[in-house]
Structures are given as structure tokens and as C-alpha cells.
């Protein structure tokens, strides 16, 4: 099977990456079932990219129902070390305008109906460090690439992850602003947690589609508005991914790739053999 060092999760409106060559589709089997869709493998700027439309082609899967564990595991099986997440988000700040890009550096988790760990229910507990949820190296490359194409990009910010699929009430939106939230969306978690558990470098390119519901304009947030603006940002996202693909370093100068080193707390003799076997690609360095 072809392997790829760089993976991309496409969000709402980003269902393919123009400019990829030598394209093939692969269906990856995982211990967690099927990913959201077949993974598209192809060359971009000389690098092999693994692309997965997060919601499936045709946008069939809601944020709560995303098979995140399968998506992350499939990327790991394909050899992905650097994982770029493209997300549609609303703005919680006046200075972050629709069509701006944000590369956030923090998260607030407001989800409530999702599995939050690759290891949940499998007889293994790992307490990863998650104080800084995004890879600083990959985030910096995303910011630099965004600036190079002339995009209006914000370096840093707090991404509030809500459950969805409905958008926020005005009261919720105002509350998130009071917490210091910068943007709001539905898909960065548990992706970021599981990517860290899988020891992959993960960062988000957030595409602002609207001002959520707090803004004085009183304009109602609709999916048509969100998709129209994300479609306009999709071309920028594709250009940025192309630049990032050519800038990925050979070595990892961050802690992402050793996140599990001291995180697994379960007595190894009590970890079920099936878990050890199924998750060998992730835990094999630490569990025998």
C-alpha cells in the first residue's frame, strides 16, 4: 500500500484538493470500522498526500457521528506523520472577519456525545499532555504559507468546539466570547486529542465563514452562508496545503511524536491481548 507522510482532513466545502496528480483511492480497514470515506492518495508539490473528506463526499456524516477513531487510525496506517485539519468556523471576535483564516493554538471542549480517546473501552488508559493541543511546528508552517499567498491570517486564537449540528444560541455565543473564545466550530475535537494519542503532528487551518450569532448585525447564520464563504476560502486552502507540502521538515522538533512515552498508566499485564494487537501501530513502542 502507498504511504503518505502528510495527511489532510477536508472540512465542509473542501471535498477534494485540486492539483493532485497520480491519484488513487484506498479503502482502509481499521479496528474502529470504516473511515468517513475512501482516502485519496496523490502527489502535491512532489509529496504524497493522503486526503480524507471528513464528512464524506456529499457531506453525509454529522459532526457528532464522525468516525474519528477510524479516520485517525487510517491515517496512521498510511504512515501519516503530519496531519492538517481544515475546518469551517464562526468568528467570536470583531477583528476576525468572515473569509479570514485562523491557525488556532488553543481549544475549549464543549462536546458531550463523543468518544474522547482512541483507547476508550479497550482496557487501556493513557493520560496524554494536552496543554498545547496543536503542533507548533506545523502551525507555524501553515501561518507562513497563508501569508505567502496574501491571505488574511491570524496566528493563534482559542477554538471553541461545540457539539452541533445546530448552530449556537445568542446566549451561548455571547458566553463563549466572555470566555476568550476566538472562533467556534464542531470538528477539531476529539480529532486533536486522538492525533496526539497517535503521536502525529496536528494543526488546524480554520476558515471563517460568519460571525456566529453574537454579532450586532443580527444576520442569521445559515448553512448556505457558511458554505458560500467556505467555497471562496477553499481555493486559498488548497494553495496553502500545496506550500505546506513542500515545507514539511525531515525531522520532528516537537513533543508530538513521543506523546505516549509516559502517558500509558495501565499495567501492561492487564491490557487485553486483542488491544495490544489491534493498536500495535500506535502503542507498539511502549507496550509488549
Q: Are 25 and 100 in contact (CB under 8 A)?
A: no
* Distance from C-alpha of 234 to C-alpha of 53, rounded to nearest angstrom: 13
Give the position of cell 500545496: 242
> For residue 132, what are the CA distances in angstroms to 108, 192, 222, 236, 247?
12, 10, 32, 26, 22
User: What three-state secondary structure class fits 64?
Assistant: helix
SS3 content of the chain, % helix, strand, coil (to 5): 30, 25, 50
Rounded to the nearest 10 degrees, what angle do helices 223-247 and 136-148 cross at?
100
Q: Which residues are catalytic?
A: 210, 212
Local structure of residue 251 (DSSP, 8 states): S
User: For residue 251, with 0-12 CB atoms within 10 Å meaning exposed, 13-18 middle and 19 or more buried, which class applies?
Assistant: exposed
Give whole-number Cα distances, 236 to 92, 106, 152, 155, in Å. 22, 23, 10, 16
Amino acid at each position: 500500500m502507498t504511504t503518505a507522510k502528510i495527511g489532510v482532513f477536508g472540512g465542509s466545502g473542501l471535498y477534494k484538493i485540486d492539483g493532485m496528480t497520480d491519484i488513487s483511492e484506498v479503502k482502509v480497514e481499521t479496528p474502529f470500522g470504516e473511515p468517513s470515506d475512501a482516502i485519496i492518495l496523490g502527489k502535491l508539490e512532489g509529496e504524497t498526500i493522503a486526503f480524507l473528506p471528513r464528512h464524506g463526499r456529499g457531506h453525509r456524516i454529522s459532526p457528532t457521528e464522525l468516525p474519528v477513531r477510524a479516520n485517525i487510525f487510517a491515517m496512521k496506517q498510511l504512515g501519516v506523520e503530519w496531519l492538517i485539519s481544515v475546518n469551517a468556523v464562526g468568528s467570536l471576535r470583531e477583528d476576525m472577519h468572515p473569509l479570514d483564516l485562523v491557525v488556532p493554538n488553543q481549544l475549549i471542549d464543549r462536546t458531550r456525545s463523543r468518544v474522547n480517546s482512541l483507547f476508550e473501552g479497550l482496557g487501556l488508559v493513557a493520560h496524554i499532555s494536552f496543554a498545547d493541543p496543536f503542533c507548533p511546528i506545523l502551525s507555524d508552517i501553515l501561518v507562513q504559507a497563508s501569508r505567502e499567498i496574501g491571505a488574511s491570517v491570524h496566528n493563534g486564537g482559542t477554538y471553541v468546539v461545540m457539539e452541533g449540528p445546530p448552530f449556537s444560541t445568542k446566549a451561548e455565543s455571547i458566553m463563549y466570547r466572555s470566555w476568550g473564545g476566538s472562533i467556534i466550530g464542531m470538528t477539531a475535537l476529539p480529532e486533536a486529542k486522538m492525533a496526539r494519542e497517535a503521536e502525529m503532528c496536528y494543526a488546524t487551518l480554520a476558515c471563517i465563514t460568519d460571525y456566529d450569532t453574537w454579532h450586532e448585525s443580527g444576520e442569521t447564520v445559515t448553512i448556505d452562508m457558511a458554505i458560500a464563504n467556505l467555497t471562496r476560502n477553499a481555493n486559498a486552502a488548497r494553495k496553502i496545503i500545496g506550500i505546506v507540502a513542500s515545507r514539511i521538515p525531515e525531522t520532528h522538533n516537537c513533543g508530538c511524536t513521543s506523546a505516549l512515552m509516559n502517558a500509558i498508566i495501565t499495567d501492561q499485564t492487564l491490557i487485553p491481548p486483542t488491544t495490544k494487537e489491534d493498536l500495535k501501530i500506535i502503542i507498539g513502542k511502549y507496550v509488549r
